Amino acid sequence: MRKIEHLGIAVKDLKASNQLFKKLLGKEHYKEEEVGGEGVMTSFFQVGETKIELLEATRPDSPIAKYLEQKSEGIHHIAFDVEDIHAEVERLIAEGFEILNETPKAGADNKLVVFLHPKSTNGVLVELCQERK
Ligand code: CO
């Protein structure tokens, strides 16, 4: 894993949170993008080499909607940038981690993504992401 690519933050109201993070970071987000398959609308802020990804649910069965129901707004996942997502998945399976989707899926911001089950990572939802070429 090469760096923290982004931190995902679950929010109830993306518009309000865009304003909040604009004030916090002193800059505008650089894009909003819907990920239909996940039922989320995302908003990205660049912070140095890393990004903040705000996540709002777009439907009640969205993983973000369920997360907000059970927990609250806050850090939802940590995403690590990887060079070869297939090789990383194999390595992590061999190390005993539980992978939620072994086949990488399309994520926001031109990425292939895989999630690890939080129960195998100290309660932290981990995302692996590889730039799509
Ligand atoms: Co993410």
Pairing of β 74-81 and β 40-47 = unpaired
Backbone angles phi, psi at 90, to 5 degrees: -60, -45
CA of 95 to the centre of ligand 1 (A): 23
For residue 88 the two structure tokens come to: 């990383």
CA distance 62 to 11: 13
CA of 30 to the centre of ligand 1 (A): 15
pLDDT at position 109: 87
pLDDT tens string for the chain (133 positions)? 999 999 999 999 999 999 999 999 999 999 999 999 889 999 999 999 999 999 999 999 999 999 999 999 999 999 999 999 999 999 999 999 999 999 999 988 889 999 999 999 999 999 999 999 8
**Which residues have a beta carbon within 5 Å of ligand 1, which is an ion?**
8, 53, 79, 127
CA of 77 to the centre of ligand 1 (A): 7
CA of 96 to the centre of ligand 1 (A): 22
Backbone angles phi, psi at 93, to 5 degrees: -65, -45
CA of 90 to the centre of ligand 1 (A): 20
pLDDT at position 92: 97
CA of 69 to the centre of ligand 1 (A): 19
